[in-house]
Amino acid sequence: MNKKKVVLAYSGGLDTSYCVHHLAHEKSLDVYAVSVNTGGFSSDELKEMEKMAFQLGAYHFDALEAEQDYYQKIIKFLIFGNVLKNNNYPLSVGAERVLQAIMLVKYAQHIGADFIAHGSTGAGNDQVRFDVIFQILAPEIRILTPIRDQGLSREEEIEYLQNHGIQLNWYKAQYSINTGLWGTSIGGAETLTSDLPLPEEAFPVPLRKKNPLPIELHFEQGELNGVDTKKGSSVEMIQYLETIAAPYAIGRDIHVGDTLIGIKGRVGFAAASALLIIAAHQLLEKHTLSKWQLQHKDYIGKWYGTHLHEGQYLDPVMRDFEALLATSQQRVSGSVFITLHPYRFTLDGIKSDYDLLENTFAHYGETNSAWSANDVKGFIKLFSIPGKLYQSVTHN
């Protein structure tokens, strides 16, 4: 008799390793361990993941490449919107979960899977992101969530796997690490507190460079297409910039926010490339966009990030936001000059053919040629009228 099929969102980490073994041996299912690679795994790492998946009991392993889709469908708009959750977190993980979920649904439907599974706990955001996409796109496929349903701790998962002959590196396993094109998130014992920082060794790249390094980022219509003299696709430039900036320990922080289920959450992250690109892009926009473009883009970007964070990627309003963000980028082209330092960077300036600061009308606080002193006096007199009207009827 053929076993029933389950497609598991497989990352090779502790949670999904437990899920492979549990679903294959305890539930007697054919486990299709599927990794959707959004930039977090090298070819060698994928080979190791495949080897481990079969060791754990998987029936089949697949690695779906998604870097280009991830950039074109999501990251591009996070850059256009200068999206930083709570003004510091570039949505390094939440942004990729919806795309992974969509691709897993298509895969499950293609092979005629009976179930679709993930390794999320019952206390985080990913369970919502995965389940919402699964229920919208494939309500006929039952969702399995072993970690959530059994309420397992990481220590219990490790003990279970060790009892079944699976040896894991305890120090590595105690941290939940997710790496993708837009950064790495890090959860562990320290992030469950309000006061403890993550140790240096928890971050994927240690501080190795200390001498200041000037670099140039080149944008074309809002998209990064060059770093210094190196040119390439936006995906290539994001990856290349990470290799330059990560050794300076740039882009590290701890994000504190409100989870979808209503509790506070704390997670560390390392996203050198993402934070540099957003900061540089935002500075270039300040020079090239109008006052009202900047104002309205600001809240549209925040709402885009909020809906994405909360798993609402499929809502049609997201396509409306994307359309506005895309059209705003027509003149966001030029170079941004940055200096890298240990743990920080400085934005030194920009150069653009569309720089509104470089004009023949006036230089702020200095000279003007497009109006006279009397013109300014008249403008100020008119500008003050609303205040005068209010004061004229105020009796206190």
pLDDT digits (tens, 9 = 90+) for 360-385: 776 766 777 888 899 999 999 999 99
In percent, the amount of the chain with pLDDT more than 70 equals 97
- What per-residue confidence (pLDDT) applies to 371? 83
Structural domains for the chain: 5-179 (3.40.50.620), 182-351 (3.90.1260.10)
Identify the pLDDT of residue 362. 64
pLDDT in tens, 192-238: 999 999 999 899 899 999 999 999 999 999 999 999 999 999 999 99
For residue 272, the model assigns a pLDDT of 98
Per-residue pLDDT at 138 exceeds 80: yes
Return the number of other C-beta atoms located less than 10 Å from residue 59's C-beta.
17
Q: Which residues pair with 141 in a beta bridge?
A: none
pLDDT in tens, 16-68: 999 999 999 999 999 999 999 999 888 999 999 999 999 999 999 999 999 99
Grade residue 394 by pLDDT with cuts at 50, 70 and 90.
confident
* DSSP E strands, the chain: 5-9, 30-37, 60-65, 115-117, 142-144, 176-180, 183-187, 213-220, 223-227, 230-231, 252-258, 264-270, 334-341, 344-351
Number of C-alpha atoms within 13 angstroms, CB side, residue 350? 23
Q: Is 81 a residue whose pLDDT tops 90? A: yes
Query: How far apart, in Å, do the first and last CA atoms of the chain sit?
Result: 87
pTM of the shown model: 0.93
Residue 169 has pLDDT above 70, yes or no: no
The model's confidence at residue 93, banded by pLDDT at 50, 70 and 90, is: confident
pLDDT given for residue 228 in this prediction: 98
The confidence score (pLDDT) of residue 177 equals: 86
260-285 mean pLDDT: 96
The answer, yes or no, to whether residue 171 has pLDDT greater than 70, is: no
**What would the DSSP string read from start to end of 103-134?**
HHHHHHHHHT-SEEE----SSSSHHHHHHHHH
Torsional sign, CA 30, 110, 317, 332: positive
C-alpha–C-alpha distance, residues 104 and 114, integer Å: 13
